[in-house]
Amino acid sequence: MSLRKVFAANVRRLRKAAGLSQEAFADACGLHRTYIGSIERAERNVSIDNIERIAAALRVGGWELLLGPEQLLQSQAR
Amino acid sequence: MSLRKVFAANVRRLRKAAGLSQEAFADACGLHRTYIGSIERAERNVSIDNIERIAAALRVGGWELLLGPEQLLQSQAR
């Protein structure tokens, strides 16, 4: 799975877990709603500065947004 | 510490641990030497696709390149 798709899945999962719409989440990040939509569809070659912004809005570390399904399973197994 | 600086420090540390010059490492990534230099100085708003390329060349997960000093200490303590 590409890192774009890993990032997209984690952002969508955590945004929904926070109970936020794409619009409300975009406001929290200071980014545009359509940008968040394109990120969640893995269409965006997102920059590290925006990874940092999105991680801060989700209150997670940037590295957590790049954890693939295997790492997520391992971290849940601990 | 900004995510750019975290990424810069991890790339430099792992590149050196692999015994690679910036030039040899740039070749391995398919990127330009000056680009690698600017990444390691945290001057570059690097994209997720290039994070993926660099992680692959270092044979680590993309998430490992965004681990800050605190997470690195924790992972070494395990």
**A50-77 confidence digits (pLDDT tens):** 999 999 999 999 999 999 988 887 777 6
The β-bridge partners of B47 are A47
CATH of A3-77, one of 3.50.50.60, 1.10.260.40, 1.10.10.10, 1.10.490.10: 1.10.260.40
Rounded to two decimals, the ipTM of the complex is 0.92
Q: Give the residue on B whose Cα is nearest the Cα of A56.
A: B3
Q: What is the identity of the amino acid at B34?
A: T
Of A60, A68, A61, nearest to A7 by C-alpha is: A68
What pLDDT shows up at residue B72? 80
Residue pairs spanning A and B at CB distance below 8 A: 64
**B11-32 confidence digits (pLDDT tens):** 999 999 999 999 999 999 999 9
Rg (CA), chain A: 12
For chain B, domain boundaries? 3-77
Measured CA to CA, the distance from residue A51 to residue A75 in angstroms comes to 21
What pLDDT shows up at residue A72? 80
CB A62 within 8 A of CB B71: no
- The pair of structure tokens assigned to A22 is 């794409």
Query: Among partner residues B2, B49, B64, which is closest to A52 by beta-carbon distance?
Result: B2
Q: Which residues in chain A have Cβ-Cβ distances shorter than 8 Å to B2?
A: 52
